[in-house]
Amino acid sequence: MGNAPAIAFITLGCPKNEVDSDRMRASVVASEYRFAADLDDADVVVLNTCGFITDAVEESVGAALELAEWRDERPGRRLVVAGCMVSRYGDDLAAAMPEVDAFVPVTDEPALLGVLQHLTGVSPGAAAPPGTRTGGGVSEYLQVSDGCFRACAYCTIPVIRGPYRSRSLEALTSEATGLLSAGARELVLIGQDTSSWGRDLADSRDITDVLRALAPLDGLAWLRLMYVQPDTITRQLIETMATLEPVRHYLDMPLQHASARVLRDMYRSGSGDSFLGLIERLRDAMPDIVLRSTFIAGYPGESEAEFEELLDFIGQAGLDYVGIFPYSPEEGTDAAGLPGQIPEAERFERANRVREVADEVSIARTARLIGTTLDVLSEGEDPDGVSIGRWSGQAPEVDGYVMLDRPVEPGRIAAVRIDTSYGYDLEGEVLA
């Protein structure tokens, strides 16, 4: 191939997959290989797949088949399929997809360079230290753990990502320092179960130790917590969030349902009442807290009354942002074998009804910000050339943006008076 092989990456799925891709990209950048930002310049493409529900698997297979056509357009091109779909289906995938040159499950991603050497015949040279990231964004995800110790009845992730493994405080601090020196101003802490960090470590540390270790780092303006399970929200975590700058008064906590019986069938704890109590404690400690959650509609055995309980809860809780999934029966999960499976059309219809109620609440809560002045982290221009940013109550990629009336240097935090809202998005005048 003459000069060094050029490697491109395509990422599907969640922020944890984005972090995995960034680590693989960093290993390529540090090697003798070249990183190709554009697929047309690439010799090898690595497709990092998602596999946690059937829809995601179908999207991943579709993307792989499309890339197989790209591969066949020029001799010497190679296609690598990596990530969660590979971890979930293993060797079955190789038999089903002869178009793919190599499969790399999640656990083998650190060994990607070896796979690339095998495919290209070119030595990668030196490898980057583990955990190296390319970074470069105004906002970056920092994965504090991988895997999950829980066994929610509908979930495939413990099979895909394995048992819970906290990353060491040293590794987190070093990676955070690298991302901040590469220009990040916001770090978003993620994991399948972020706030269970430390449960598998010898010393009795917890997620508040991570917050305290990261808070004083140079350049860190915002520190955000996502994927926080409700039963891990302790008084200590609430106090730390309320008092420790620059932790955002923002929490993404998947609740999944409001009926105690349905939650038990999910192998989860809680109820609508206990969640309302938790939300009240959070708002007592942080009256300005912004809350995001996710729910599943149409779970096996969910009666009309239990569904109404979920709708009532969404109407009452006043959540700022809500993700809603129609239940997806997944092979190998206990839930798929439960009696009372609800027809697909009904599951989607229920999810749409939750969506309507949740949107009404979210849009009203967003509109309350009109006339206020917010600190907005500039993200530069969007693909349409509009200057955008996010206020502290908006997580990256999922909670909308603030459109600015004039350009602001990416990474700068500007005071913006909010004039208008459009659904989850806001528009405002940059004051300073």
Residues 222, 254: contact at Cβ < 8 Å?
Answer: no
- The piece of 19-27, 154-162, 217-225, 328-336 that touches ligand SF4 (CB under 6 A) is 154-162
List Cα–Cα distances, 54 to 171, 228, 331, 370, in angstroms. Answer: 34, 24, 9, 40
For position 157 contacting ligand SF4 by CB under 6 A, the verdict is yes
Q: Would you count residue 150 as binding ligand SF4 (CB under 6 A)?
A: yes
Q: Binding marks (x or -) toward ligand SF4, 214..253, rule CB under 6 A?
A: ---------------x------------------------
CA geometry: angle at 320 spanning 314 and 323, to 5°? 65
Residue 57: CB minimum distance to ligand SF4, A: 16
Instruction: Give least dist CB 42 to ligand SF4, A.
Output: 32
How are strands ordered across the β-sheet holding 78-83? 34-35, 6-11, 44-49, 78-83, 102-105
Strands of 321-326's sheet, edge to edge?
A: 139-143, 186-190, 222-225, 247-252, 290-297, 321-326
Nearer to ligand SF4, 61 or 157 (CB): 157
Q: In the numeric block, which tokens belong to residue 158?
A: 């413990």
By C-alpha distance, which of 48, 44, 51, 38 is closest to 18? 48
Beta-carbon contacts of 111 under 8 Å, excluding residues fewer than 6 positions away, are: 104
β-bridge pairing 145-146 and 165-166:
antiparallel
Task: Give 49 or 134: the residue with its C-beta nearer to ligand SF4.
Answer: 49
- For the chain, the distance separating the N- and C-terminal CA atoms, rounded to the nearest angstrom, is 52
Phi, psi of 79 (to 5 degrees): -125, 120
* Cβ nearer to ligand SF4, comparing 16 with 25: 16
**Residue with token string 């849009």:** 363
Smaller CB separation from ligand SF4, 12 or 155 = 155
Interaction mask 177-216, ligand SF4, x per CB under 6 A: ---------------xx-----------------------
Question: Does 158 participate in binding ligand SF4 (rule CB under 6 A)?
Answer: yes
- Which one among 6, 155, 184, 187 touches ligand SF4, defined by CB under 6 A? 155
Closer CB to ligand SF4, 296 or 404, in the complex: 296
Question: Measured from the CB atom, is 158 or 329 closer to ligand SF4?
Answer: 158
Residue 210 CB-density burial (10 A; 0-12 exposed, 13-18 middle, 19+ buried):
buried
Least Cβ distance, residue 150 to ligand SF4 (angstroms)? 4
Strand partners, 417: 373, 429
- Residue 28 one-letter amino acid: V
Element (H, E) at 104: strand 102-105
Closest to ligand SF4 by CB, 158 or 219? 158
- Look up residue 249 and give its DSSP letter: E
Span interacting with ligand SF4, options 149-157, 181-189, 274-282, 305-313, rule CB under 6 A: 149-157
Residue 43 DSSP label = S
- In this structure, the strands spanning 6-11 and 34-35 are parallel
CB of 93 to ligand SF4, least distance (A): 21
Q: How far is the CB of 45 from ligand SF4 (least distance, A)?
A: 28
Residue among 21 and 192 whose Cβ is closer to ligand SF4: 192
Chain-centroid distance of CA 426 in Å reads 22
- The distance of closest approach from Cβ of residue 192 to ligand SF4 in the complex, given in angstroms and rounded to an integer, is 4
| Min dist. Cβ of residue 30 to ligand SF4 (A) | 31
How many residues in the chain? 432
CB-nearer residue toward ligand SF4: 132 or 196: 196
152 binds ligand SF4 (CB under 6 A): yes
* Residues 7/34, Cβ–Cβ less than 8 Å: yes
- When the beta carbons of 5 and 15 are compared against ligand SF4, the nearer one is 15
- Rounded to the nearest 10 degrees, the angle between the axes of helix 235-243 and helix 207-214 is 10
Task: Report in angstroms how near the CB of residue 382 gets to ligand SF4 at its nearest.
Answer: 31
User: With contacts defined by CB under 6 A, how many residues of the chain interact with ligand SF4?
Assistant: 10
Q: How far is the CB of 161 from ligand SF4 (least distance, A)?
A: 8
Q: Quick one: which of 45, 148, 291, 354 contacts ligand SF4 (CB under 6 A)?
A: 148
What is the binding site for ligand SF4 (CB under 6 A)?
148, 150-152, 155, 157-158, 192-193, 229
